[in-house]
Amino acid sequence: MKKVRIFDSTLRDGMHAVSHQFTPEDMAAIARALDEAGVDTIEMGHGDGLGGSSFQYGFAKASDEDYLRAVSSVIKRAKLDILLIPGIGTKRDLEKAAKYNVKVARIATHVTEADIGEQHIKMAKDYGMEAIGFLMMAHMAPPEKVVEQAKLFESYGADAVYVTDSAGAMVPHQVKERVAAVKAAVQIPVGFHAHNNLGLAIGNSLAAFEAGADYIDGTVKGLGAGAGNAPTEVLVAVFDKLNVETGVDLYKIMDVAEDVVTPRMHRPQVIDKAALTLGWAGVYGSFLLHTFRAAEKFKVDPRDILVELGKRKTVGGQEDLIIEVAYQLSQSPK
């Protein structure tokens, strides 16, 4: 029987959907239920990873250590996982995580910047963790570039590498191309992390699995940035239909979704206009607020700004460009 390893990120990517306001008690309740349902790996922390709680990325309800303490104390079978974006999280954050029995560290960089994750991969290995390279916004780079960057992570000692569709901007053949190319080029397992902005979180996850992905990410009820992620309970049902072993009990994970996570949601996770536009334009979610402001100021359609930002392959940190693009659009003939 074929197998797939499920990473559940309800308690990390899902934090975006609740403005990082899960309490440590919420996290513990969800983590306990995920653990009992048989989820292999549970990721937790601020939506932007360790150290993310800040004015810039939004303050979480509690500190990383409070969350780590609460979750690590209830997990019995699952591997505890954190995400760290170099530049947001630091070595000191990783050190803290190591004290709470964190077994897996995912080091997340822009798809063309694996090199800034080198020291963090090595640090995680030094702490005895499984270290995973996580290439974000993978739609922005052609397969050969994704391969090059995946091989960099492998060369740093990463135990696995992810193709990450951060903006939910890929269609199945694009996912297949990238995952298959990486799979053929590295010796380590390959993962895929979907977003649902184009309604393709499950479809792309299946495409990734067919192309050879060993690890697939989900979040219960699809909670996550933008239009959210692949719902874990739906992934488990679909893999069950395909006779692929996830190790997760389908009825239990359905019940986690309905009874444990749903009551803690702030809003339903749907594909609204903003999320769809982000996926279609292939732009990072953090641009949205600035874009709406600029659109109003310069009297242009915010979607036109996002499309132009997508064409220019703008990445996080380049928010200044939004004003420039909005101004240029306002000057161009209709």
Rank residues 104 and 260 by Cβ distance to a second copy and give the closer one: 260
Residues contacting 181, CB < 8 A, separation 6+? 143, 144, 146, 147
* 118 within 8 A of 84, measured Cβ to Cβ: no
Which of the residues 227 through 256 are near a second copy (CB under 8 A)? 230-231, 233-234, 237-238, 240-242, 250-251, 254-255
Annotated binding site for Mn(2+): 13, 193, 195
Measured CA to CA, the distance from residue 334 to residue 201 in angstroms comes to 35
Binding mask 129-168 for a second copy (x = CB under 8 A): ----------------------------------------
The backbone torsions φ and ψ at residue 299, rounded to the nearest 5 degrees and listed phi first, read 55, 50
CB of 273 to a second copy, least distance (A): 4
For a second copy, which is the closer residue by CB, 132 or 202? 202
The window from 76-84, 92-100, 180-188, 203-211 that contacts a second copy (CB under 8 A) reads 203-211
CA angle 244, 146, 119 (to 5 degrees): 100
Q: Which of 116, 184, 270, 289 binds a second copy (CB under 8 A)?
A: 270
Q: Is residue 21 exposed (0-12), middle (13-18) or buried (19+ Cβ within 10 Å)?
A: middle
3-state DSSP assignment of residue 132: strand
Inter-residue contact 226 to 167 (CB < 8 Å): yes
Catalytic residue among 16, 46, 110, 290: 16
Given 199, 296, 317, 328, the residue binding a second copy (CB under 8 A): 199
**Tokens (6 digits) for 12:** 């990390």
Q: How many angstroms separate the Cα of 172 from the Cα of each of 23, 117, 233? A: 36, 27, 20
The minimum distance between CB 226 and a second copy, in angstroms, equals: 13
Element containing residue 236 per DSSP (H, E): helix 232-241
280 binds a second copy (CB under 8 A): yes
Pairwise CA distance, residues 329 & 86, whole Å: 34
Q: Is 85 in the site for a second copy (CB under 8 A)?
A: no
Find residue 86's DSSP bridge partners: 89
User: Whole-number minimum distance, CB 312 to a second copy, in Å?
Assistant: 17
Asked about 20 being catalytic, the answer comes back as no
Q: Which is nearer to a second copy, 70 or 238 (CB)?
A: 238
Nearer to a second copy, 203 or 316 (CB): 203
User: 221 and 265 in contact (C-beta within 8 Å)?
Assistant: yes
Catalytic residues: 16
Q: Which residues bind a second copy (CB under 8 A)?
A: 171-172, 198-204, 206-207, 221-222, 230-231, 233-234, 237-238, 240-242, 250-251, 254-255, 257-258, 268-273, 276-277, 279-280, 301, 303
